[in-house]
Structure 1
Amino acid sequence: MERREFLKKAGLGAAAAVAATTIKAPFVHAAKKTPIKWRLQTYAGPALAEYVIKPQIDAFNKIAQGEMVIELYYADQLVPTGELFRAMQRGTIDAVQSDDDSIAAPVDVSVFGAYFPFASRYSLDVPVLFNHYGLKEIWEEAYKEVKGVTWLSAGAWDPCNFATIEPIRKLADLKGKRIFTFPTGGKFLQRFGVVPVTLPWEDIEVAIQTGELDGIAWSGITEDYTVGWADVTKYYLTNNISGAWAGSYFANSDKWDALPEHLKALFKMSIDSSHYHRLHWYWWGEAHYRTTGGKLELTSIPDAEWATVEQEALKYWDEIAAKSPRSAKVVEILKKYAATMEKAGRPYRYV
């Protein structure tokens, strides 16, 4: 009996000691990881970025729940647009939303970024070409040859139309016009007397008011109204040299490779969400502002005369194709796609 009482009391004492130790021990919080931080610069100024990328970045940061935070910067805010590629290679910035042409990407396919003349008629043409006609694989191949930058995805934006101070009703009206536009688009338009001008995005509105520019061939009518260019121009030419801007997302390769797989997947999903948002926002806006905008008078160059511009574009395609085997492959795809769309007829093409 004495032995039993001893063991019983000893057991209770040990349990009490353990309980006391447990109760008195301080509570230790699990150490939180420092969030991954990226700096991403877009081609767009603040007013436009509000629609073409900010919703995506806001959603990504919310869903990432502090594990990763992307800081968004606007056109030329950290680095001039023409220097974005090099800055990304160096790691000065971590990611970019722009077209290959504007950021001077050192790959042969960069000429097809932004507005390659008449490469597309409608915004849906761009994702179809990349996802179903092989452009995605060609872009991946091209960027693997460049150290430090990973190409992630391409999508469609708006068409390329002229917004001008004076009306454009025939090709001759383009001669001598100083126009803000993209590098490749500008080179093509020089064939019709246009004088391409390169300026920081934020300076365009003032440059039109001061007479430094005669107009813009940088967007469709949605952007003209959204960013204020419709307030300083008077006319909008319905003929366009491309049905959709082809833009891409890029990242510094080391930063991209260091991301855990689930964050890579989340970022790519957010890119797809942004692509989708732009498709319907621009499609809505191009019709909405033509019909109810009230600020810009619509003008048109007759179809027969504009057909000469399209024919000149095909000559330009062949000139670009001669520059490299890969460029030739892209041009071959564009021709095949155009032929398919024309053969398919309405609603793909109205001929």
Structure 2
Amino acid sequence: MDRRSFIKKAGATGAGAAAATTLAAPAIAQESPEITWRLTSSFPKSLDTIYGAAEKMADHVKEATDGKFTIQVFAAGEIVPGLQALDAVSEATVEMAHTCSYYFWGKDTTFQLGTATPFTLNARMQNAWFTAGGGTDMLNEFYNTQGVHGFPCGNTGAQMGGWFRKEINTVQDLDGLKMRIGGFAGKILAKLGVSPQLIAGGDIYPALEKGTIDATEWVGPYDDQKLGFNKVAKFYYYPGWWEGGAALHTFINLDKFNGLPKHYQAILADANSASNAETLGNYDLKNPVAVRQLVADGAVLRPFNQEVLDACYKAAREVFEAESAANPNFKKVYESQLAYAKDGYLWQQLSEYTFDTYMMLQQRAGNL
């Protein structure tokens, strides 16, 4: 039976069927209400990957609800400054925000662990911990006490260590350095003499250009190139040990989230998950091209040496130990991440690391 025949026969089934359809329509409308929410981003529109993660999520929600649930995305500063995104959500100024959890570690250090824990998980392990390891549920036990509900919505992969005006050859070279750096990394580096500054993305370039800061980290080659850091600082260090797999988050006002129909809640969860995967793919695709261009334009790549990394690792463990003793929420989440890291890196030595290392040797030899 073709579609037109079916429709004609269905239309001739009588008043009883028509009445049933009439009765069903309002129920369906109530189950899928028309909703328009606003989302404030912590990022400028020029950063198409990181800002675009929220747009992708909003597009998924709109398509899955046939346009009944729409989310309007606003760049940092259009409603509130980027570093006030969480407050705007918890206070119901807007329904949603797209940001980094660790921007708000000053409120409670547990916020740090939603983005990246220095010297702990890489991007693949971070996502595994969120999903299969119960990390998202564990974090939401905390986020809910802050008036918000959170979903991972984008991962940058392992980040770069940042742009420096001078070389960093010893731990002493860090002493007195003014560096834009977010989250616990600043607290760790402060133990080694660094003066950490938390500056929103759009304000970093002028601060570096004017000498207000001596160094900055942001994300990686693609985004860093867009912000032009190579024009004012030439030494580009790696790895960003503080962000081995930095996660972005969508935060939703808790009351608004709880008031949604269950299938809208599920659609939001799925949309964030889709954007999370797409964003990491974008970075993995675009960073290799960007780093080649940066080097061609004069950027000087430098690895942090073993002495510097060891000093930072030791300082990080001291900070984590002190914070775990002071904050039960932090301790619970951190210990869960650390337990997984111990097993995860054992497995990755056998699988990803061995395979990746062999393929990298082929690439260096020109066989790839």
Normalised by the length of structure 2, the TM-score is: 0.77
Q: 1:289 corresponds to which residue?
A: 290
Q: 1:235 to 1:317 in 2, by over 3 A?
A: same
In the alignment, the residues of structure 2 paired with residue 197 and residue 237 of structure 1 have an alpha-carbon distance, to the nearest angstrom, of 18
1:309 and 2:312 matched? yes
Contact 1:115 1:244 in 2 (8 A): yes
Which residue is equivalent to 2:332? 329
Q: Secondary structure at the match of 1:192?
A: coil
CA shift in 2, pair 1:304/1:75, >3 Å:
same
Query: What is the one-letter code of the residue matched to 1:301?
Result: F
Aligned to 1:151: 150
Shift in alpha-carbon separation, 1:162–1:111, aligned structure 2, 3 A: same
Which ranges in structure 1 are unaligned for 5 or more consecutive residues? Answer: 1-29
With over 3 angstroms needed to count, the CA separation of the structure-2 counterparts of 1:94 and 1:127, relative to structure 1, is same
Q: Which moved more, 1:336-345 or 1:266-275?
A: 336-345
When Rg is computed on C-alpha atoms for both structures, the one with the higher figure is 1
Question: Does the C-alpha gap of structure 1 residues 60 and 105 become closer, same or farther in structure 2, counting only changes over 3 Å?
Answer: farther
Structure 1 residue 322, shift from structure 2 partner: 0.9
**Counterpart for residue 218 of structure 1:** 218
| Partner residue, 1:40 | 39
With over 3 angstroms needed to count, the CA separation of the structure-2 counterparts of 1:305 and 1:87, relative to structure 1, is: closer
Give the direction of change, closer, same or farther, for the CA distance of 1:316–1:155 in structure 2 (3 Å limit).
farther
The structure with the greater share of residues assigned to helix is 2
Query: What's the secondary structure of 1:124's corresponding residue?
Result: helix
Please list every run of at least 4 consecutive aligned residues from structure 1 whose deviation after the TM superposition is greater than 4 angstroms.
Answer: 104-108, 347-351
Tell me how far 1:329 sits from its aligned partner.
2.3
- What is the rounded CA distance, in whole Å, between the counterparts of 2:66 and 2:171 in structure 1? 54
Q: What's the CA shift for 1:75?
A: 2.1
AA of the residue aligned to 1:311:
K
In the TM superposition, 1:339-350 aligns within 5 A as 339-344=342-347, 345-348=349-352
For 1:196-243, what per-residue CA distance to the aligned partner results, in whole angstroms no more than 9, with x for missing partners? 113333221122222212221232223211333334331210232231
Separation of aligned partners in 1, 2:106 and 2:252: 13
Segment drifting more, 38-47 vs 227-236: 227-236
The answer to whether 1:139 aligns with 2:128 is no
Q: Secondary structure at the match of 1:102?
A: helix
Indicate conservation of the 8 Å contact 1:95/1:252, yes or no: yes
Structure-2 change in CA distance of 1:176 and 1:305 (3 Å): closer
Partner of 1:198 in structure 2? 198
1:226-265, Cα deviation, whole Å (9 max, x unpaired):
3333343312102322312132211112222232333322
Which residue in 2 is equivalent to 1:69?
70
Deviates more, 1:188-197 or 1:99-108: 99-108
Aligned to 2:364: none
Contact 1:124–1:156 under 8 Å retained in 2? no
What's the CA shift string for 1:107-137, capped at 9, x where partnerless? 55213233432122x2112111222333223
SS in 2 for 1:41: strand
The aligned length equals 319
Note the C-alpha offset of 1:160. 4.8
Seq. identity, %: 21
3-state DSSP of counterpart to 1:280 = helix
What is the RMSD of the two structures over their aligned residues, measured on CA atoms?
A: 2.8
Moved more, 330-339 or 152-161: 152-161
Counterpart check, 1:280 vs 2:281? yes
Q: Are residues 63 and 331 of structure 1, via their aligned partners in 2, closer, same or farther at CA, if it must alter by over 3 Å?
A: closer
What does residue 270 of structure 1 align with? 271
Partner in structure 2 of residue 182 of structure 1? 182
Letter of the structure 2 residue corresponding to residue 198 of structure 1: L
Partner of 2:87: 86
Distance 2:335 2:105 in 1: 23
Q: What displacement does 1:142 show?
A: 1.4
Question: For 1:53, what is the secondary structure of its paired residue?
Answer: helix
TM (normalized to structure 1)? 0.80
**Distance (Å, rounded) in 2 between the aligned partners of 1:78 and 1:230:** 30
